[in-house]
Amino acid sequence: MDARYPEWLEALERKTRSEQRDGYTFVTKPIPEDEADAPGRMDPRVYAVQKKLFDEMPQGFSLPLDPSDPIAFAKTMRALMGWDNEDVTGGAVSAVGRTIEGSGGPIPVRIYTPPGERLRRAIVFFHGGGFIGGTLRTVENPCKCLALRADAVVVSVDYRLAPEHPFPAGVDDCWDAVRWVSEHAGELGVRPGPLAVAGDSAGGNLAAVCALRDRDERTGRIGYQALIYPTVNMGALPTEEGGEWKLDAYEISDEHRDVIIPDLLAMKGDGTNPLLRLYLQDNAEPDHPYAAPLHADLSGLPETLIATAEYDYLRLEDEAYARKLAKAGVATTLIQYNGTSHGFMDKSGLFPQVEDVMKEIAAGFRRAMNRLEEKERATE
């Protein structure tokens, strides 16, 4: 870890800006050491990583893969995912792996518990990976940070992946994990009552879908959701809230165009979205609310935090999701991390934004749980 890391982390908190936008709270996190806050630039740490990846790949960020062989495609993509990251908690959080029984078979989970014997609230976390990849290992250190910052038991879920297990297998596993944590609160050291769901990218989608399912089935298990650059409209279908992708929505300086634009265009692809095809496999339409939450009725959902990266292809649809949540009466906060790109969360210890977003999720989680407890007491 760089010796300047604590300074960068402090700057992210000190330079935070907040405003009201379209009915929700919009928070901006500038690049830590950029005192001039010059627009259009990448965080130097993010740029260095992205530039290295771009230069090492024969065709830049483009992947010359044939998705007609889904298994080979998935294996190639999985090999490119993940990052060796650091435990910023100094080993304070314990990790225990176990397997739970889901409706579709066994589900591996990893349980993170902060030091000290007491009952805590729980957060169920779902890793990203485009529904075809990702592992518990990739998000282990961010989950440890979240557990410590939130003083919560964090349960990370290794749900089934496409194409071997298409929609709704992953959704079912994640929902089964939420149910299991709720039903086994005592043995986990978890307080009975509502818990939170969180996740990054595809995992953010699954967290949002679990919140929808909780509302639809009226189980009252989920009281807060934290979505880190979630995919909420993989089919890029039009919605009343907008969110359609366009390059000119991004302010990009000449200094970093060589990485920012190819990265955005690579995520945009050619419009066919092989990840969506591998995930759904004709089991649902692209606008199914449990596949694309932006097309769902969002009324009655719990308090929501959305974290976005300024130079992420998904940023615009995430902003549309925040607008729709707010319009439905859901208390919503969106935090934009300037100078970052999709996937920054798995670089714990290198990017200070990772620890900062866990701090923000933890703070929002505690506030939401406290409000729920106050509401419960008022109705007694």
> Residue length, the chain?
380
Domain containing residue 175: 5-372
Dihedral pair phi/psi, residue 95, rounded to 5°: -130, 130
The whole-number pLDDT of residue 10 equals 96
133 part of a folded domain: yes
85 part of a folded domain: yes
380 part of a folded domain: no
- Chain centre to alpha carbon of residue 146: 13
CATH of the domain at 49: 3.40.50.1820
377 part of a folded domain: no
Other CB atoms within 10 A of residue 378 CB: 7
Catalytic residue among 201, 253, 341, 348: 201
- Residue 228 C-beta-side C-alpha neighbours within 13 Å: 31
Q: Give me the mean pLDDT over the 54-65 stretch.
A: 65
Residue 339 burial class via C-beta count within 10 angstroms: exposed 0-12, middle 13-18, buried 19 and up: buried
The whole-number pLDDT of residue 377 equals 79
44 part of a folded domain: yes
Q: Give me the mean pLDDT over the 229-250 stretch.
A: 91
Exposure string of 345-376, with b = 16+ CB inside 10 Å and e = fewer, is bbbbbbbbbbbbbbbbbbebbbebbeebeeee
89 part of a folded domain: yes
Rounded to whole angstroms, what are the CA distances from 298 to 238, 292, 293, 332? 17, 12, 8, 12
Give the pLDDT confidence of 352-375 residue by residue, as tens digits. 999 999 999 999 999 999 998 888
The whole-number pLDDT of residue 380 equals 65
- The region, left, alpha or beta by phi > 0 then psi within -120 to 50, assigned to residue 31 is beta
The torsion of the CA quartet 340, 345, 348, 352, rounded to 10 degrees, works out to 40
Other CB atoms within 10 A of residue 288 CB: 17
Give the pLDDT confidence of 213-225 residue by residue, as tens digits. 999 999 999 999 9
* pLDDT beyond 70 at 63: no
- Secondary structure class of 168 (helix, strand, coil): coil
Query: What global pTM score does this model have?
Result: 0.95
Distance CA 280, CA 160 (A): 13
The whole-number pLDDT of residue 54 equals 83
Distance CA 330, CA 316 (A): 19
The whole-number pLDDT of residue 34 equals 81
Q: How many domains does the chain have?
A: 1
379 part of a folded domain: no
Active site residue 182: no
* pLDDT beyond 70 at 62: no
Give the pLDDT confidence of 312-358 residue by residue, as tens digits. 999 999 999 999 999 999 999 999 999 999 999 999 999 999 999 99
378 part of a folded domain: no
Exposure string of 197-234, with b = 16+ CB inside 10 Å and e = fewer, is bbbbbbbbbbbbbbbbbbbeeeeebbbbbbbbbbbbbb
